[in-house]
Chains A and B, each alone.
Chain A
Amino acid sequence: MAFPALRRGGGGGAPPPPPRGGAPPAPGRWLRGGGPIRALGLAGAVVPGLVLAGLLIELIVKAIPAIGYSGLSFFTSSTWEFGEQYAAPVTTNGMTHMQGEEFGALPQILGTLATSAIALAIAIPVSLGAALLIAELPRRLADIIGAFLELLAGMPSVLLGLWGALTLGPIVAAHVSPLIADSLGRIPGLTGVFGQSTGSGQGLFTSGLLLAVMVIPIVASTSRDLIRGVPALAREGAVALGLSDLECARKVTLPWVAPGIVGAIVLGLGRALGETIAVAMVCGVALGSLPTNLYGAMITIAANIVQNLDTAITDPMDVSAFAELALVLMVITLLANVVATLLVRRVSGTALPVGRGL
């Protein structure tokens, strides 16, 4: 339990799926008494809510100038300019700002979504496949593998970024990208995405790969625990009926744990959306343009904030734009959580009733 499923970096907010067979009995509650500890506890418990409120207020207040300045072009334009620091400020619509300032965050928003999408596309099949195998291995071996998963889950993202920038990136550029470009890139219609220039190893594909490496431990370890929880009776019944391993997995195991898997995927998505440092080290930091294909340099909201806050703090309007970026990122992560909670409920409803009462 050293690294519980609620992992750092992003949306760990999805509630765990309701346990089968009913909720555990409620423990005793101290309805009165407890004195100072009760009061202190209440104080501690309201801290997150207060911090959250303060955060939102601060960001919204700081972001208002930029919201007024850019309007909708924030979400549609691809040009991001910090403005001419060496010219005199001008005033538009009552707002003072530097000349040439433009805040178009479309590449960053798309970059955030695209890297997470690629990460999940790679991580889901790999994690599920690995989890299905680990759950069947002898305990000793599974524990050793579990230790590796914990190590990877607990790895500081800056180390993963180091590995990504100095090892993974060059190998992707030299070997993997040309391979994909030669194979998938030849399919007509997909040439624009997979083909043409294979880039320098710093771009969308490498970022997606690196994020996948970070998401896999979360999804894999949670899935493994869930799969282990499938009652032996159900699986033995499948074997008795003559199902092969694959068919057992498809028809019994996976439907049983489906809501939990969706929850695990959402945890991974949260991590991917919020990941900052590792992506900043491999994305190529291309602020003002969309990548031309899968391997092109790009940027995400989080990577932009961490790389360019230095530059932005010289000018209040730039800081305001960054506050707006932070708000957008928060909204994206919260939306992902909400969608996930709804998905979990929906999948729970359609999951097999087999097992209730076992």
Chain B
Amino acid sequence: MFPLFGAWQKGYIAENPGIKISTASTNSGTGISSAGQGLVDIGTSDGPLSATQASQYPSVENIPMDVDGIEVVYNLPGFSGQLNLSATVLAQIYQGKITTWNDPAIAKINPGVTLPSTKIVTIHRGDSSGSTVTLVQYLNAADPTDWPESLVSSSPTWPKAPGALAETGTGAMVTAAGSTAGSIAYVGVSYASKIAAAKLSVAAVENAAGKFTTATPAALTAAVDSFPAPSANGSEVLVNTTAPAGYPITGYEYAVVNSSQPSTAKADLIQNFLYWALTTGTDSSYLGPVGFVPLPAATHAISVSLITKISG
């Protein structure tokens, strides 16, 4: 979400000189707790508030802003071409049960290609991450045996895969994957240009219809359209879509805001920015470079109603 917010920052300030916006890149857990504690005005998160966070900060709401995809990237020198990965294979890789790239389970879903025998190095987020939540929700939804409910969390107990690395922040994930041969990691689609610059390849992931898709804007749109509208508080899980063209590791990007602000002036400022972000900010000039797609109409309406609730 950081690259998009940077672009929004520039665009909004250009249209509204006199407004100051400062951004920092942390993790989704901090985004939520900082917004709850009032340390920031707007927090962002790739995952919705959990039940506990909702009860800890009752006046905080998560407002869907756009739709994001989590890509599975890998660094496999000696292999060119698109790798297909399924939830089962991914789950077993992160469980440490599949340790080399030429494992029969991987070869089975990639017919006709020769895979090198490099060891797999799994990279996961060490901090509290919405990207992690979306990924593990997908793994659990598609393959509950290999990835049980207990491992669904923003900072789960990662199984001990050999040589596994933990990184703090999406940026560090990309850097680590780029410099470790044989590595596999998961990164939001907004980092696409950095992924390409780090010479990483993107995998095609299997959705509930049995098709392997990548996180193109069309695939993200197909995925989000296959789900009903979210509940009134904006939270919804969008993984493992049944749409054949849909990308299975999809989720909303949320703005996390405290609906009771200290002053009306502050509330107005935040509302104006969020309305702007939902309308002008979802223009293709902003979303295009980051690979997000705008919200479906029903979700958009719910977001607007959530923004209206912000008052001072």
Residues of chain A whose beta carbon lies under 8 Å from any beta carbon of chain B: 79, 81-89, 98-100, 197, 200, 284-289, 297, 307-308, 310-311, 313-315
Q: A284-B165, A287-B166, A310-B128 are in contact. Are A86 and B157 (CB under 8 A)?
A: no
A111→B187 CA distance, assembly (Å): 30
A314 touches B153 (CB 8 A): no
- Chain A residues lying within 8 Å of B30, measured Cβ to Cβ, are 310-311, 313-314
Determine the distance from Cα of A82 to Cα of B27 in the docked complex, in whole angstroms. 15
A197 contacts across to B, CB distance below 8 A: 163
Complex alpha-carbon distance, A82 and B158, angstroms:
11
The reply to whether the CB of B50 lies closer than 8 angstroms to some CB of chain A is yes
Is B14 close to A, CB under 8 A?
no
CB distance A84 to B153 under 8 Å? yes
A148 to B127, CA, bound (A): 38
Q: Report B151-170 CB contacts with A as 1/0, cut-off 8 Å.
A: 01111111010010111100
CA distance A100 to B156 in the complex (A): 9
Q: Which of B29, B150, B163, B180 sits near A311, CB closer than 8 Å? A: B29
Which A residue's beta carbon lies closest to that of B128? Answer: A311
Name the residue in A98, A297, A314 with the highest tally of chain B Cβ atoms < 10 Å from its Cβ. A314
Alpha-carbon gap, A241 to B126, bound state (A):
64
The answer to whether residues A314 and B157 also contact, given A88-B51, A98-B52, A285-B126 and a CB cut-off of 8 A, is no
B33 in contact (CB, < 8 A): yes
- In the assembled complex, the Cα of A100 lies from the Cα of B154 at a distance in Å of 13
Inter-chain pairs besides A85-B52, A310-B26, A311-B127, 12 sampled, C-beta below 8 Å: A79-B157, A82-B155, A85-B128, A100-B153, A200-B180, A307-B127, A307-B168, A311-B27, A311-B126, A311-B155, A314-B29, A314-B32
Query: Of B51, B133, B160, which contacts A289 at CB under 8 A?
Result: B160
Some 9 contacts from A to B, beta carbons below 8 A apart, are: A81-B157, A87-B50, A100-B157, A284-B165, A287-B126, A287-B166, A288-B160, A310-B128, A314-B32
Which interface class (under 10, 10 to 19, 20 to 34, 35 or more) fits B? 20 to 34
Q: B53 an interface residue at 8 Å Cβ cutoff?
A: yes
Chain A CB count within 10 A is highest, among B156, B160, B180, for B156
Q: Take A86-B133, A314-B32, A314-B33 as given contacts and tell me if A307 and B154 are in contact as well, using a CB distance cutoff of 8 Å.
A: no
Q: Which of B236-272 contact A (CB under 8 A)?
A: none
Nearest CB in chain B to that of A296: its residue: B163
CB–CB B29/A88 < 8 A: no
Secondary structure of the B contact surface, majority rule: loop
B166 touches A313 (CB 8 A): no
Q: What distance in Å separates the Cβ of B25 from its nearest Cβ neighbour in chain A?
A: 11
Tell which of A84, A87, A200, A308 has the most Cβ of chain B within 10 Å.
A84
Contact B152 A314 (CB under 8 A): no
- Chain B residues near A285 (CB, 8 Å)? 126, 166-168
Residue contact B153 to A310, C-beta cutoff 8 Å: no
Task: Give the residue of A83, A84, A307 whose beta carbon is less than 8 angstroms from that of B126.
Answer: A307
- Give residues in B with beta carbon < 8 Å to A: 26-27, 29-30, 32-33, 47, 50-53, 126-128, 133, 150, 152-158, 160, 163, 165-168, 180
Cross-interface CB contact of A308 among B32, B53, B127, cutoff 8 Å:
B127
Q: Which of A79, A307, A310 is packed against the most chain B CB atoms within 10 Å?
A: A310
Chain A residue at minimum C-beta to C-beta distance from B51: A88
Question: In the bound complex, what is the Cα–Cα distance between A308 and B53 (angstroms)?
Answer: 18
When distances are taken between beta carbons in the complex, the residues of chain A under 8 Å from B33 are 313-314
Q: Which residue of B lies closest to A102 (CB)?
A: B157
Which of B153, B154, B160 is packed against the most chain A CB atoms within 10 Å? B153
Q: Which residues of chain B have C-beta atoms less than 8 A from A287's C-beta?
A: 126, 166
Given contacts A84-B152, A84-B153, A85-B154, contact A314 B126 (CB under 8 A): no
Report which of B29, B127, B150 forms a contact with A84, defined as CB distance below 8 A: B150
Bound CA–CA A287/B158 (angstroms): 11
**Closest residue of B by beta carbon distance from A289:** B160
Residues of B within 8 A of A284 (CB): 165
A310 lies within 8 A of B29 (CB): yes
Is B27's CB under 8 angstroms from A84's CB?
A: no
Residues of chain B with a CB closer than 8 A to A83's CB: 153, 155
Q: A310-B29, A314-B29 are in contact. Are A86 and B126 (CB under 8 A)?
A: no
Whole-angstrom CA separation of A68 from B310 in the bound complex: 40
A310 to B126, CA, bound (A): 11
Contacts of A86 in B (CB 8 A): 47, 50-52, 133, 152-154
Among residues of B, the one whose C-beta sits closest to the C-beta of A280 is: B168
- Smallest distance from the beta carbon of A2 to chain B beta carbons, Å? 35
Contacts of B127 in A (CB 8 A): 307-308, 310-311
Contacts of A82 in B (CB 8 A): 128, 155
**Taking the nearest CB of chain A, how far is it from the CB of B105, in angstroms?**
25
Q: Which 5 residue pairs are nearest across A and B when measured between Cβ atoms?
A: A84-B153, A86-B50, A311-B128, A314-B33, A310-B30
